[in-house]
Amino acid sequence: MDAQLKAMWSTIPPATPEELAGARQRLLDGMRPRRRVVTGPRLLIAAGVAAAALVAAPLLGGAGTPAYAVTESPDGTITVTVNELHDPAGLQARLGAAGIRADVTFLAAGEQCAPDRFAGVDETYGGPAATRPRELRSMVDGSRSAKATQVTSVRTIRISPRYIRPGETLVVEFRDNQDARVPWRLGAWLAQAGTSVAPCTPVDDPH
């Protein structure tokens, strides 16, 4: 009996470093001094990565690898692969062709867009600060912004148009993470329909 139970699902292998990268990053994030105040626009940057299955892989780069790719799935979702933070206008246009009104910004390491670029549809942008990870998590879990854009691996995000209402703009900010294993971090929010999104003014991110 013990032998049969031990053999049950024993072909499942130990996790690879790639499969563990996301959990490892969460541990590293959790090791930093606590009680930092997390402001609205930073929310999804942190949460997106926390929710992601992060894959450790060398930066692809080089010839033949497109900076980004956009693929539409039969289930209506759109997968965006971002290998390099290059040509945001091209990516924005490509998303437009896929039916997503988007505003795409690529940021250097240590930069963020100055706040109040737009009016968000929920508290994840410009809302009250969350001081605790759990608070942050519940805020993010309940938000349509978070459902509309999920980080699915270190290089890919999945956009679910069913969470985006007519006229809303998907605002995405990719920041260079200076880490070959996790090349960028993402902030993604929905801007209210009928409002405009101001261009990003990069400012130093003090965090």
Task: Tell me if 51 sits within 8 A of 139, measured CB to CB.
Answer: no
Cα–Cα distance, 37 to 72 (Å, whole number):
37
CA pair distance 202, 179, nearest whole angstrom:
20
Calpha distance 53→19 (Å, rounded): 7
Q: What is the DSSP letter of 11?
A: T
- Determine which residue in the list 14, 58, 166, 194 makes contact with another protein, applying CB under 8 A: 14
Q: How many residues bind another protein (CB under 8 A)?
A: 26
Q: Which of 18, 26, 39, 193 binds another protein (CB under 8 A)?
A: 26
Of 5 and 63, which CB lies nearer to another protein in the complex structure? 5
**Binding flag, residue 137, another protein (CB under 8 A):** no
Which of the ranges 17-25, 74-82, 153-161, 169-177 carries the binding residues for another protein, by CB under 8 A?
A: 17-25
The stretch among 28-36, 77-85, 114-122, 162-170 that binds another protein (CB under 8 A) is 28-36
Of 9 and 74, which CB lies nearer to another protein in the complex structure?
Answer: 9
**Interface residues for another protein in 59-88 (CB under 8 A)?**
none
State which H helix or E strand residue 86 sits in: none
Strand, helix or coil at 88? Answer: helix
Site for another protein (CB under 8 A): which residue of 18, 24, 123, 160?
24
DSSP secondary structure, 134-175, as one string? HHHHHHHHT-HHHHHEEE-SSSEEEE-GGGS-TT-EEEEEEE
Smallest distance, Å, CB 156 to another protein?
16
Summarize as ranges the residues that interact with another protein (CB under 8 A): 1-2, 4-9, 11-16, 19-20, 22-24, 26-28, 30-31, 50, 53
